[in-house]
């Protein structure tokens, strides 16, 4: 480390400069030392930040203690020496003056900057709400509207192969589609596109329970395939209790080698929302069209929520291979094609009945 850099950091720490004779901070009984280093020099060395390190989002809730703040800072790798930082923070008088908020701090941030942020309340929150089932392009549009991040910048970050690899997304993932967890986020002001993708994919990772991995083995599905299936379930469901049954239909069809014939995959293949999938739409040429191709599409078609992930992991134990939506959004499930055709006729009758004009007096 250059002397000029260390001298500058010592000044920020309010410790004596290297150009002056070194002193040791003492208690009445003994000198604080870390190994053979005086505590002042040890604090200075430990407090040196790393410029251009990745940023981490740290939340300090109202009423948080210094100890809980240190837990959060350590967990997000903003600081690496918790005991030294605790001492440093107390020397700076931080203990009882924490400001709650959401902070965007660099991993291995200079301690002076960390303390200054927590003292002044530099964190400023802004809210982002992403609904279940939204597609990547739709998420990008909401990000632009709610956060001011250009749509193209967010899409570029969500399709950055280096970033996807850094975040641990499956090799098959060509974008963050399916892994931008739908929820409401409290975010620092001026968050960038790449950092937002990191936050959202890390939120997805937090949802992934350890036992889910073992469950994948019993289903003979990869994580990417499971997320893809969950995204189709998410796109189909309008009535929450139907989720495990829709999941069962698709998994039963996969086991039998039948095409999924999922309308949402056709809509996704068009690159826009179709108000209704007509027979003429079923021939669209795309690897996402499950009317043409057997098996799952190559990736998710939207952002599944936790309920759809669970439905994909734990489908209902039913013999159904078909379903049709009723006007109220609930589905009729069938085990045979003949039953399915009867269900379709029943739904058509319901729709005709709903459109028929009511007679006066009734």
pLDDT 10s digits, 188-237 = 878 899 999 999 999 999 999 989 989 999 999 999 999 999 999 999 99
Find out whether 194 and 163 touch, Cβ atoms under 8 Å: yes
**Does residue 26 carry a pLDDT above 70?**
no
Which is more confident, 299 or 43? Answer: 299
| Position 95 pLDDT exceeds 80 | no
* Mean pLDDT, rounded, for 88-98: 81
Q: Which residues are CB-neighbours of 250 under 8 A, at least 6 positions away?
A: 229, 232, 233, 260, 262
What's the pLDDT score for residue 357? 66
Largest CA distance in the chain: 101
pLDDT higher than 60, residue 36: no
CB distance 181 to 200 below 8 Å = yes
Q: Kindly report the CA angle at 12 between 8 and 16, in degrees rounded to 5?
A: 75
Long-range own/partner contacts, residues 159-168 (CB < 8 A, 24 or more apart): 160/194, 160/197, 163/194, 163/197, 163/198, 167/197, 167/198, 167/201, 167/202, 168/205
In this prediction, residues 15-33 reach a mean pLDDT of: 42
pLDDT of 316 higher than 50: yes
Does pTM top 0.85 for this prediction? no
Query: Among residues of the chain, what percentage have pLDDT more than 70?
Result: 82
What percentage of the chain reaches a pLDDT higher than 90?
Answer: 58
CB atoms under 10 Å from CB of 241, counted, come to 10
Token pair 């019993």 is found at: 218
- Quick check: 137 pLDDT over 50? yes
Q: Is 50-123 assigned to CATH 3.40.50.1110?
A: no
* Domain residue spans of the chain: 1-48, 50-123, 136-206, 210-318
């Amino acid at each position: 480390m250059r002397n000029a850099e260390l001298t500058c950091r010592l000044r920020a720490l309010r410790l004596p400069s290297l150009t002056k004779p070194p002193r040791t901070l003492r208690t009445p009984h003994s000198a604080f030392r870390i190994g053979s280093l005086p505590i002042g020099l040890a604090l200075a060395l430990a407090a040196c930040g790393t410029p251009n390190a990745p940023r981490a989002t740290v939340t300090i809730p109202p009423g948080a203690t210094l100890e809980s703040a240190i837990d959060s800072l350590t967990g997000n790798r903003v600081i690496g020496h918790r005991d030294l930082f605790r001492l440093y923070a107390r020397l700076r008088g931080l203990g009882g003056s924490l400001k709650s908020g959401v902070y965007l701090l660099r991993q291995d941030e200079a301690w002076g900057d960390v303390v200054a942020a927590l003292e002044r309340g530099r964190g400023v929150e802004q809210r982002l709400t992403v609904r279940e089932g939204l597609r990547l392009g739709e998420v990008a549009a909401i990000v632009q509207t709610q956060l001011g991040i250009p749509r193209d910048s967010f899409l570029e970050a969500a399709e950055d192969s280096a970033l996807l690899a850094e975040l641990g997304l499956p090799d098959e993932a060509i974008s963050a589609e399916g892994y931008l967890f739908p929820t409401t986020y409290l975010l620092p002001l001026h968050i960038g596109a790449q950092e937002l993708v990191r936050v959202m994919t890390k939120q997805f990772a937090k949802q992934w329970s350890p036992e889910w991995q073992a469950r994948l083995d019993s289903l003979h599905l990869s994580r990417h395939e499971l997320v893809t299936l969950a995204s189709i379930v998410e796109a189909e469901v309008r009535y929450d209790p139907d989720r495990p049954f829709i999941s069962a239909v698709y998994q039963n069809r996969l086991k039998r080698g039948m095409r999924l014939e999922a309308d949402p995959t056709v809509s996704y293949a068009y690159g826009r929302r179709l108000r209704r999938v007509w027979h003429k739409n079923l021939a669209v040429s795309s690897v996402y069209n499950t009317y043409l191709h057997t098996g799952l599409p190559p990736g998710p078609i939207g952002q599944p929520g936790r309920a759809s992930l669970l439905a994909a992991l734990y489908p209902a134990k039913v013999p159904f291979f078909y379903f049709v939506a009723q006007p109220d959004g609930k589905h009729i499930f069938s085990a045979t094609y003949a039953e399915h055709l009867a269900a379709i006729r029943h739904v058509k009758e319901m729709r005709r009945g709903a459109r028929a004009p009511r007679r006066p007096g009734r």
